[in-house]
Amino acid sequence: MDIDLFLASASPRRKSLLERIGVRFHVLAQDIDEQPNEDEAPEVFAIRLALEKARAGLAARPKGQYAPVLGADTVVAVDESLLGKPKDKAEGLAMLERLSGRSHRVLTGVALVDGDRESTRLSISYVQFRPIEHAEAVRYWETGEPLGKAGGYAIQGLGGVFAEQLEGSYTGVMGLPLFETHDLLSEFEIDYQSHWPIGQ
């Protein structure tokens, strides 16, 4: 298996971003408990989950495969409250109402492990939402896009119409900050740029 790393995530957004920069990878999606610990700060929570996913992926590597494992997790925080993935319509609409007309933080932790080393990075972005009318929030929920998304929206999709301003990493808000990811790949001496095409 000629790859640069294993990705411990089934997220299509993370897969797309890795493909975009030329990383060769194989998916080893991992399900872990994503409940925050009591009084756990959003920064700590994001890094912890990214590391736990990477460690779980490491344990699931096929025999004889030694490529490192990349884990990532994105959380949305309003003040110090975490907004996870909405379980139903009521929760999804409540999240959009809470985000409407104000700023929130999007924190994405990234971890890379290989059995000998573990390293992490954290991306923090600030997103300002314009006011969202209730009918608009309902219509957005009915598209199905908010399901499975931290904070109940996808900035790279239809939810992008709510974002008035972004300070930080657009790819971090999507789920995989490419600056921090590059930093980790460089630390582990993964030359993904050697796969870039020439003359395009």
User: Which residues are known to be catalytic?
Assistant: 73
DSSP string, the chain: ---SEEE----HHHHHHHHHTT--EEE-------PPPTT--HHHHHHHHHHHHHHHHHHTPPTT----EEEEEEEEEETTEEE---SSHHHHHHHHHHHTTSEEEEEEEEEEE-SS-EEEEEEEEEEEEPP--HHHHHHHHHTTTTTT-GGG--TTTGGGGGEEEEES-HHHHHT--HHHHHHHHHHTT--GGGGS-S--
